[in-house]
Amino acid sequence: MRFARLRLIALAVVLLAQVYLFVRIRRAIRSSRRSDRFKSWAIHLVGAAMVLLFVLNGYTLFRQIPWVDPPMAARFGLFYPVAVWNFGSLFSALVLFLTRVIGRLGRAVVRLSRGPVTRTASDPVNLGRRRFLQAGVGSLAAAPMVLSGYGAAYAAKSYDVQELSLPFGRSLRVVQLTDIHAGIYMTREEIRRYADQVIALQPDLFVLTGDFISNSMSSLPGCVEEMARVRTRYGTFATLGNHEHLWGRPNEIQAILGQSRISLLTNAHQVIQTEQGPLAVAGIDDLVAGEPDLEAALRGLDPAIPALLLSHHPEIFPQAAAYGIPLTLSGHYHGGQIKLSLPGGGISMANLWTPFPEGLYRINASHLYVSRGIGTTFTPVRLNAPPEVTVFHLT
């Protein structure tokens, strides 16, 4: 329900932006020197196009799209333009609104400083200056669209390999992937590229912390097959995310993962024997959409055995630290997907929802790492929050 509300709120905000943009575009068309017939056709055409883009965006947000690996022509000719327009329009509308407000405030300040001024019929109107200002405002309004296109076409595909060294009590190399979101914006070909990267890193242990799918089970088999190509000394372990509960069928997901020898840990743990001694990998169900039970996940586990906890949401960390779990791995927030860099650090929408938006955190001897993941949700746009493959050198 919470996720559905978020989508409704996002759609409502986009709708308001679309209405405001249409009003401004209609006003610009009416003020042009074209014929009345041209103006009428142009306004109707713009309105119809905006309605179509909005409806298509709403469909991709609320309906399952079982189209597995759509061709590039469909993705870049249909899905990406819809997403880029609807996301970019939010900030284009904001830019236009702010420039209008600032312009009015500026004129008010000028009038107050000059006192009452009476314009006569002979006072010329500087048309060149007006056109220059209109062009400047238009360029500012177009900038978010350009940034959105860049964020979808390039920034969301250019990933980082993050490496961290952390104390754990056992020496091994762990690679984490999370938030794959297989679907129209994350095709099997792209997933294969990440699997190849993980294979090249030669992990001892490979972990997946949820959200395999975007909004359809149709993309899951191909995603799992690519993840199963990774062979490690101690196996591959996974836990469920909120998308598996919202758009998938957990029992079927468990069966598909099991067929590919990927162990799904749902409120459970598994002990692994290593050359340095035993270690445990534990996993809990999604904190929001599932039925998480950390106590059940750790039941029967010797406290002397170091445990690695997999949880899609990071908010389990204080509880995990209270149990003395040395390392918790999570994802979910994608690093905010769109992040602003400020002098005091980066900020994104994720900062409004959680104290653990991305990166490394510590409570006493326990650590939490929140990966930005590799996929996207709501919009395929990423800005200043690149996808990541995470490598942990545990000692």
How would you write the pLDDT of the chain (395 residues) with one tens digit per residue? 566 677 788 888 889 999 999 999 998 899 888 899 999 999 999 999 999 999 998 888 888 888 999 988 898 889 999 999 999 998 899 888 888 888 788 777 877 877 665 555 555 555 555 554 555 555 566 777 888 888 888 888 899 999 999 999 999 999 999 999 999 999 999 999 999 999 999 999 999 999 999 999 999 999 999 999 999 999 999 999 999 999 999 999 999 999 999 999 999 999 999 999 999 999 999 999 999 999 999 999 999 999 999 999 999 999 999 999 999 999 999 999 999 887 777 889 899 899 999 999 999 999 999 999 999 998 999 999 999 999 999 99
Taking the C-alpha atoms of residue 114 and residue 51, their distance in angstroms, rounded to an integer, is 45
Residue ending a domain, choose from 132, 155, 178: 155
Nearest alpha-carbon partner for 218 in 75, 74, 65, 71: 65
Same domain as 176, residue 77: no
**CA angle, corner 61, sides to 9 and 372, nearest 5?**
85
My answer on whether 180 and 146 are in the same domain is no
Would you state the pLDDT for residue 211? 97
Cβ atoms 237, 228 nearer than 8 A = no
Whether residues 185 and 310 share a domain: the answer is yes
Which residue among 104, 137, 155 closes a domain?
155
Q: What is the pTM (predicted TM-score) of this model?
A: 0.88
Is there a single domain that holds both residue 165 and residue 143? no
Q: Residues 173, 233: one domain?
A: yes
Into how many domains does the chain fold?
A: 2
pLDDT for 167: 96
| Domain span at 91 | 2-155
Answer with the one of 119, 139, 155 that is the final residue of a domain.
Answer: 155
Residues 76 and 189 placed together within one structural domain of the fold: no
Claim to verify: residue 209 and residue 229 sit in the same structural domain: yes
What torsion do the CA atoms of 20, 23, 26, 28 make, to the nearest 10 degrees? -80
Tell me, rounded to whole angstroms, the distance of Cα 268 from its chain centroid.
28
